[in-house]
A and B are shown apart, each in its own frame.
With several copies, the nearest count.
Chain A
Amino acid sequence: MAESYAREELLACTVARLIGDATQTAHVAVGAASPIPATAVELLRARQGGRPRLSLLHRRHGNPFSEGSRELFDLAGQGRIDVFFLGGAQIDGEANINLVEAEGRRFPGSFGSAFMYFAARRTILFREEHSARVLVPRVDFVSAPGWSPPGVWRRGGPQALLTGKALFAWQAERRRFRLESVHPGVTPEDLRANTGFDYDAPARVATTPEPTDAELALLRGPVAREIAPNYPAFAARLWRIAA
């Protein structure tokens, strides 16, 4: 087993495995606030000589775009985004996401999800909170649907759902999640109790692999230095590194 690690490091390593190597993935776009997907991409880039390409939407300096806030969506429309990330105030068992409203509460809104979920080749659903409040049988509002009927154009859809407790793979043909692994310290029973939707699970549930020493060395060295300028609070908290 590796030395002690933070939960964020486990999640970043898991996201990196989902993205896959440079033969599978040329370009990853990361929107909104979460630094963990960006950390995962930087981990891959540190290993693979700067690949895949990472487009950070809200990068404050050296933003990769020169066509304004429209460019990400045009890129996705062209098919030039391989992997994108979405979360949700609610996520349901059919991979629908809700970013608008739930139980009388108003959330920020759908952002570009209703387009990106169709146009990016793969979407990784990511939400750290794993509770029956977030993972519901049916979302109150569909910001973006998890699947589309035949005849509706759709280039891509969900690849997986990663939370603070577990990793689920999406089964497109069954339109259901399948539990891939629980993170260290989580039991399958604990997971079932905290998940509002039904899902498939193997008889013996694997544990999410922990970060290796090599991964941790990269995360705490070159990756931390890349992440700090854009996510200063995160980098300071996790690695005690200044921007």
Chain B
Amino acid sequence: MLDQPLPSNQTERLADAEAIAARIPDGAFVALPPDYSLVAMEVVRALIRREAKDLRLLGVPVLGFCADLLIGAGCVREVETSAVSLGEAGLAPRFSAAVEQGRLRVVDATCPMVHSGLQAAEKGVPFMPLRGVIGSDLTRRRDDWKTLANPFEQNDALIVARAIQPDVALFHARWADSAGNVWIGRRRELATIAHAARACYVTFEALREGDMLEDELLAPGVLGAVYVSAVARAPRGAWPLGVIGEYGIDDAHILEYARRAKTAEGFARYLDEFVTRRAAQPA
């Protein structure tokens, strides 16, 4: 798998979130950040509008609101993640219902194993070792985790995560620039998934002229264009999740969602109001 090299991109500028959703094919293995990181919610809504099917979601390392929405809308075949939760708003209702009714396969992980698997792909190595995990029932369901003897020590076994190479890294950024770079700040899990994935699609709040990599103050928070397949502007594109420095998480909306999505009917009305109908509106 890893012998198929990843591309060096010349970043494309696309029109909007719909255009990005159109690039993500049915069946794709899509890596997504947690709700407290930078989630490309407008693309998630566009995926639901285009009736994406059979997606496999990777939580880096956990999933939340965006995954619950995609699962409820029937776009998802499988999730590989350390958790799916709405945080303080409680359990993810569509996720729980889909699993309990046998409609969704869950590949249960634990956070640092996800990070290690992605870091292996980032380095182009087939696996990475980790301490702990041995004795957890998680290992019984993962044939991509194996135990391995420490070659430097007698009688010392470790678990190893096979490299995880997503088809798509998808997230939102505060800024993109003319050179195709995006600014992700301290959310470095986004850099890791971009490094590891075959394609990386990013929506952004605002465009900056010039090249952020030439600015030593901005550069540490930049993901370089070489990793970015395409970008599209999506103002408030993370809503109802947040973008630090721009807007916070809309806690009231997430609570309202949690309440409505307890039933399939309530979820359908939520979709109709906040996802499907917006397609008819001008951007």
Contacts and interface: CB of A to CB of B under 8 A. Distances in A.
Q: Do A and B bind each other?
A: yes
Contacts of B156: 151, 153
Interface string A21-53: 000001100001100000000000000000111
Contacts of A77: 112, 122-125, 131
A201 interface: no
Contacts of B61: 69, 111-112
Contact of A110 (B36, B109, B249): B109
Contacts of A52: 8
A112 B188 contact: no
B138 A110 contact: yes
Contact of B8 (A26, A74, A143): A26
Contacts of B6: 78-80
B88 A68 contact: no
Interface stretch (B20-28, B92-100, B264-272): B92-100
Given A33-B88, A68-B189, A109-B108, A142 B214 contact: no
Contacts of B254: none
A123 B96 CA distance: 28
B108 A110 contact: yes
A117 B131 CA distance: 11
B180 to A, nearest CB: 10
Interface in B112-136: 112-113, 115, 119, 121-125, 130-136
Nearest to B124: A77
B14 interface: no
Interface in B219-237: 219-224, 226
A121 B136 contact: no
A36 to B, nearest CB: 14
A114 B133 contact: yes
A107 interface: yes
Interface string A85-110: 00000000000000110001111111
Interface string A106-138: 111111111111110100000000000000000
B105 interface: no
B236 to A, nearest CB: 18
Interface stretch (A59-67, A158-166, A190-198, A204-212): A59-67
Given A65-B186, A66-B224, A117-B132, A74 B82 contact: no
Interface stretch (B42-50, B190-198, B274-282): B190-198
B123 A74 contact: yes
B91 A142 contact: no
B34 A142 contact: no
B186 to A, nearest CB: 5
Interface in B53-108: 60-62, 81-85, 87-88, 91-92, 95-96, 99-100, 106, 108
A110 B83 contact: yes
Given A80-B6, A152-B134, A119 B108 contact: no
Interface residues of B, number: 76
A139 to B, nearest CB: 9
Contact of B110 (A53, A70, A115): A115
Nearest to B60: A69
Contacts of B196: 78
Given A113-B110, A121-B5, A33 B87 contact: yes
B124 A69 contact: no
Contacts of B186: 63, 65-68
Contact of A53 (B95, B219, B226): B226
Contacts of A121: 5
B137 interface: yes
22 contacts: A26-B10, A60-B242, A62-B213, A67-B186, A70-B188, A70-B192, A74-B123, A74-B124, A76-B124, A78-B123, A100-B137, A108-B84, A108-B91, A109-B106, A110-B109, A110-B138, A111-B110, A114-B138, A115-B131, A141-B137, A143-B110, A154-B132
Interface of B: 3-8, 10, 34, 36-37, 60-62, 81-85, 87-88, 91-92, 95-96, 99-100, 106, 108-113, 115, 119, 121-125, 130-138, 155-158, 186-192, 195-196, 211, 213-214, 219-224, 226, 242, 244, 248-249
Q: Which 6 A-B residue pairings sit nearest by Cβ, starting from the closest?
A: A79-B5, A77-B124, A68-B188, A109-B83, A27-B8, A118-B132
